Amino acid sequence: MDNSEATQVMQQLGGQALAAARKMRMADTAAKNRWLTLSALRLRRERDHLLNANAMDLQQARDNGIDPALIDRLELTTARVEAMADGLDEIAALPDPVGRIDDLVYRPSGIQVGKMRVPLGVIGMIYESRPNVTADAAALCLKSGNACILRGGSEAIHSNRAIAACLRRELVESGLPQDAVQLVDQTDRALVGALISAKGLVDIIIPRGGRSLIERIAREATVPVIKHLDGICHVYIDASADLAMATAIAVNAKTHRYGVCNAMETLLIHEEIAAEAIAALAPPLAEKGVEVRGCPQAIAHCGDWLPASEEDWATEYLAAVLSVRVVKDIDEAIDHIARYGSGHTESIITEDYRAGQRFLREVDSSSVMWNASTRFADGFEYGLGAEIGISTDRLHVRGPVGLEGLTSP
Amino acid sequence: MDNSEATQVMQQLGGQALAAARKMRMADTAAKNRWLTLSALRLRRERDHLLNANAMDLQQARDNGIDPALIDRLELTTARVEAMADGLDEIAALPDPVGRIDDLVYRPSGIQVGKMRVPLGVIGMIYESRPNVTADAAALCLKSGNACILRGGSEAIHSNRAIAACLRRELVESGLPQDAVQLVDQTDRALVGALISAKGLVDIIIPRGGRSLIERIAREATVPVIKHLDGICHVYIDASADLAMATAIAVNAKTHRYGVCNAMETLLIHEEIAAEAIAALAPPLAEKGVEVRGCPQAIAHCGDWLPASEEDWATEYLAAVLSVRVVKDIDEAIDHIARYGSGHTESIITEDYRAGQRFLREVDSSSVMWNASTRFADGFEYGLGAEIGISTDRLHVRGPVGLEGLTSP
C-alpha cells in the first residue's frame, strides 16, 4: 500500500469516526454503560471464539520465530478474557466525566460561569501485541464520549478483529453508533503514517508500546500525541530520611513488580546516610535476587554490588536490576534526575520539610512524590480510575490518563 | 533564506529558549512581578524611542501602499504605549498559577494526591501587525513561568524590536534569563515554517491574526497549536424568551463593538416569537445603523431588511451587519449553528429550563451561554484575567486562554 492509498483508507475511517463522535458526544451515560456491560457479557460468551482467533495469531507468531516474551503478551487465556471483561464492567462503574460542570462561580457582572467537560472527539490508539488493549482503550474512549480508531499490532490482528467485532455488535444493541469503534483492519505500516497525520479527522494520538514505536510516532505525527517514552524512576533517600521508611519504600519501589514503568530503576542516597541506608537495604535486595550496580562510593559500602557504568544511569531495566548512586546533597540528586530521568516518577524520602518542598517544586516529572513508593503512580491509586496510558508531556494531561484526561477541560 | 538556514536559526533560538525555560520554571513570583513592573516603567520612559521606531514602520507601510485599517493597527500613540504599560502592571497583579496545588485529597491507601500546575515550557507566538502583542504575550508567557519566541509581522519589525529590547533589558535587572523573551529578528517567511515545526524545542504555538495566517499554521504545524479561526457567533431567541431581555441582549451582542470576535453575526429566532421579536428589534438596530440581511420569513416581518444569501450565514462580518433567520424550533437552531458556526460563542435566550439545558449540552462551542450576551466571552469577564487568545480547539484549553491555560493541568 502506498501513502496515497493509506491516506484514502484513513480518510474513510476518519470520516466515519467523526460522524460517530458527533453522536457519541450526546450519548447518555446509561447507553454508554449498557454498551460496556453488554460487551463484557459478549466477550465472556464468545470466549472460545476469541481463544480460537488468538490461536491463529499465536501459531503465526511461532511460525515467524517471534520472541517468547512477545508471545506471552500476545496470548489470550480464559483468565485473561475474564480480566478483559471485568475491565469493561469496572469502567461502567466509573463516573461519567462528560457534562460535569466545574468551578461554577458568580462574576461581579452578575453572570454565572463554569467549565463543562466535553469529549475530545476522535482518538487514534496505536499499540503493539496485547489484544486486551483493544477492549480497554475502546471502553475508556467511549465512556468519555469519544470515538476511537484502533491500530493494534499486526501480530494480533485475528484476536483484535474478534474483540472489535464483539464491541461493535453491542454498540448496535445499545443504540450507539457502530463506527465509534473502528479497527484498522489492514496490517500495512503506511496506515500508521496516515493515522498520525490525519489532522482534522483525528484529535489525538495515544501510542502504547516499545520506545522505538513511540519515538517514531512522536517524531512524525502532525496530530498531537499523548505519550511516555521510558520510566526511569528515581527514589532519593535524603540525609534526614526515616531509615525504616526509606528501606521499606525502596524495596517496594524496586521489587513489587519488575516489568512496570513506575518501578524504581535508580536509587540515590545522600552521603551522610549512605552507610546506614546501604547496610539496611543490601540484605532485603539480595534476598529478592536484585542485582545492584553502584557508583564507587556505594560499592565501598557493599562489597557484593557490581560497578555501574555511565549507561546504567540512563537505562530502564524493567528487571531485577537496580543502580545506586551516593550523592553529595539534594542538589546533586535533583541534577542527576534532570540529566538521566525520563520525567515519569521520582520520590524523595525525607523528614525535612524544606527538602520535601524543594523536591516537589524543582523536579520536573509527571509524578513527584514525598515519602511514597513510585509504584503509587497509577490511575487507580490517584483516584482517576482505569488509565489509557501515562503522559510525561505537559500539554493537556500529565501523569496517568483516565476518563477525565480524554475530555476537554 | 532557505528552509535549512531557517531551521538552523530556529535551533539556536529554540535551544536558548529551552535553557531560559528551565530557569523560568523555578522563578519566584516576586521576580516575575518585578520584571513586569520594571518593564512597564521602561516602556513609559522610552515612549519617544518607541514612537520613533514605530514611525519607521508606519513610513514603510505607507510607502508600500498598505491598507489604512492595517496602518491603524500598526500605529503606536502615547495612549497606546500607556495602555501597553498598564497591561503589564495588570498582569503583575494577577495571581501566579505556577505551583498551585489543586484537588489535594487523601486516598484510601493513605497517600495524599494533588495536581500541581507547572509551566508548559517554550511558547511560540505568531502574530501580525499590532506591536502591543509583543508586550502582552511576553508578559502572559513569563508570568506563567514559560519562555517565549515571538514572531511578529514584518511590517512592525522596528516597533517590535524596540519593545522587546525594553523587556529583555529588565529581565537582566530582575535576575531572570534574558532569553525568556526572544524576538525572531528576521522577517523571512521561512522562519515561521521553522518555528511551527520545532518539535522538542517549542511546546506550543499560539497564532493570532487573520484567518489565512492561522489556517496555514494549523495545516503545516507539527508542534501543537492553540487557535481560533473565526468568531461567527449566534444568538438564538427561543419561543419562551423574555422579549425585553432578548432585545437587550441581541442589541448588545451586535452593537456593543463591531470588530471583535465575540460579536453576534447571526440572530436566530423561533417562528412563534418572530413577529414580536422583530418588531422590538428592528428599531434599535436601525437606530444604530446596523444593516440587516434576513431570510424570507424575517423579511416578511420587516420590509426594511435586505435578503440574506447562503454566504451570509457563513460570514464573520466584524461590522455593522447582521444576518437574521427565523427557525422552526430549537433543533433547527442547533442544526444551523452546527452547520455554519465556528465553535466560538453561542447564546440561547429562553425562560424554558429544558431548552436552556439542551442548548448548553448540545451546542459544541467553546463558550455556550444562556440569557447572556456573546460579548461576555472574555478572559476578564470569566475571571481568568488577561487572555493571550481564545481557543476553539478542545485539546488542553478551550475558550479564553489566560495564565492558567499556559500551564500544565
Which amino acid is present at B35? W
Closest in B26, B224, B394 to A395, CB measured? B224
B362 touches chain A (CB under 8 A): yes
- Print pLDDT tens along chain B (409 aa): 899 999 999 999 999 999 999 999 999 999 999 999 999 999 999 999 999 999 999 999 999 998 888 899 999 999 999 999 999 999 999 999 999 999 999 999 999 999 999 999 999 999 998 999 999 999 999 999 999 999 999 999 999 999 999 999 999 999 999 999 999 998 889 999 999 999 999 999 999 988 899 999 999 999 999 998 889 999 999 999 999 999 999 999 999 999 999 999 999 999 999 999 999 999 999 999 999 999 999 999 999 999 999 999 999 999 999 999 999 999 999 999 999 999 999 999 999 999 999 999 999 999 999 999 999 999 999 999 999 999 999 999 999 999 999 999 8
Chain A partners of B120 at a C-beta cutoff of 8 Å?
394-395
- Contacts of residue B331, defined as CB under 8 A and 6 or more positions apart, other chains included, come to none
pLDDT of residue A87: 95
Reference A365, options A385, A404, A339, A383; nearest CA is A339
**B 187-206: CB under 8 A from A:** 199, 203-204
* CATH architecture of the region A233-376: 3-Layer(aba) Sandwich (3.40)
Domain B3-227+399-408 has CATH 3.40.1190.10: no
A357 touches chain B (CB under 8 A): no
pLDDT of residue A241: 98
Closest in B99, B219, B224 to A361, CB measured? B99
pLDDT of residue A302: 95
**B 287-346: CB under 8 A from A:** none
Q: For testing the chain A interface, which of B111, B199, B367 should be mutated: the one with the most A CBs within 10 Å?
A: B111
A96 touches chain B (CB under 8 A): no
B82 touches chain A (CB under 8 A): no
Q: Residues of CATH 3.40.309.10 domain(s) within chain A? A: 233-376
Task: Enter the C-alpha cell of residue B153.
Answer: 509581522
B387 touches chain A (CB under 8 A): no
pLDDT of residue B209: 87
CB-CB under 8 Å, B376 with A394: no
pLDDT of residue A123: 98
pLDDT-derived band of residue A129, with 50, 70 and 90 as boundaries?
confident
CB-CB under 8 Å, B362 with A107: no
Mean pLDDT of A377-386: 93
- Contacts of residue A148, defined as CB under 8 A and 6 or more positions apart, other chains included, come to A17, A122, A123, A124, A125, A137, A138, A141, A142, A180, A181, A182
CB-CB under 8 Å, B199 with A394: no
Q: For testing the chain A interface, which of B29, B103, B113 should be mutated: the one with the most A CBs within 10 Å?
A: B113
Give me the interface pTM, i.e. the ipTM: 0.92
Task: Enter the C-alpha cell of residue A280.
Answer: 539496611
Q: Residues of CATH 3.40.605.10 domain(s) within chain A? A: 3-227+399-408
Task: Please tell me the distance from the alpha carbon of residue B70 to that of residue B78, in angstroms, as a whole number.
Answer: 19
Contact B399, B408 (CB under 8 A): no
CB pairs under 8 A between A and B: 83
CB-CB under 8 Å, B382 with A395: no
pLDDT of residue B246: 98
Closest in B116, B361, B408 to A99, CB measured? B361
Which amino acid is present at A237? I
pLDDT of residue A187: 85
Q: Looking at CA atoms only, how far is residue A382 from chain B in angstroms?
A: 6
pLDDT of residue A169: 98
Q: pLDDT tens digits for A156-214? A: 999 999 999 999 999 999 999 999 999 999 888 999 999 999 999 999 999 998 889 99
A114 touches chain B (CB under 8 A): no
Angle between helices B243-255 and B274-287 (to 10 degrees): 40
Q: Looking at CA atoms only, how far is residue B408 from chain A in angstroms?
A: 5
Task: Please tell me the distance from the alpha carbon of residue A281 to that of residue B128, in angstroms, as a whole number.
Answer: 61
Output the pTM of the full model: 0.94
Which amino acid is present at B38? L
